[in-house]
Amino acid sequence: MSDDKDNQNDSPSFAELLDGVKVLSNHDKVVHDTPKPRPVPKQAHQDEQKVMQELLVSPSEHEDMQPGDSLSYVQTGIQKQVFRKLKRGQYSIEAELDLHGLTRLEAQQQLNEFVNECRDHGIRCIRIIHGKGYGSSNQGPVIKPLVNQWLQRRTEILAFCSARPADGGTGAVYVLLKSA
């Protein structure tokens, strides 16, 4: 045990190790002011997003469309014979989308996804059922004029027209898509 005491005496004490160390005073400390994060107005952001979505799906002008009105659109350069065949329902309907009971936003999202998916799968002729608007308020159809606007804005839509009575009449449209 005497060896252990000798080894302890050989090592410097803590006080000896601290010899020459200067104690800093409190005023020598550097204090960094960390800026607090700015508050995030979550509700205001959500409200703004909702307004933007409504602007995207709302008609720019109120279309005075009635339940029995027909829809019709042909992109420049499409032959009259092609459009005539579409109006007569002579193209095979390869896919169908029903927008009944959806909100404006839901209808727009579904329509966009449907058209994109059809295009990706090489589908050329589709039917979109928008309804005639009998269930809408006395302002007339809601989804029908929107479908008219949305389809006209898409470059991959060659033509569309209201369907024959057996396929939904003025409550549905035949749509001819560009090939992928």
CATH number at residue 107: 3.30.1370.110
Residue 1, pLDDT > 70, answer no
**Is residue 153 assigned to a domain?**
yes
Residue 173 forms part of a structural domain: yes
Residue 26 lies in a domain: no
Overall average pLDDT of the 133-140 stretch: 67
Residue bearing the bigger pLDDT, 180 or 91: 91
Q: 137 lies in which domain range?
A: 73-177
Quote the CA–CA distance of 111 and 83 in Å, as a whole number.
22
Higher pLDDT, 82 or 39: 82
Residue 55 falls inside a structural domain: no
- Total domains present in the chain: 1
pTM over 0.75: no
42 located within any domain: no
- Considering the domain boundaries, does residue 108 fall inside one? yes
Q: Which residue has the higher pLDDT, 88 or 27?
A: 88
Q: Which of 15-24, 51-60, 90-99, 133-142 has the highest mean pLDDT?
A: 90-99
Question: Which of 4-8, 26-30, 76-80 has the least mean pLDDT?
Answer: 4-8
Reported confidence tier of residue 158, pLDDT bands at 50, 70, 90: very high
pLDDT tens string 33-75: 888 888 877 877 777 776 666 555 544 444 567 777 889 999 9
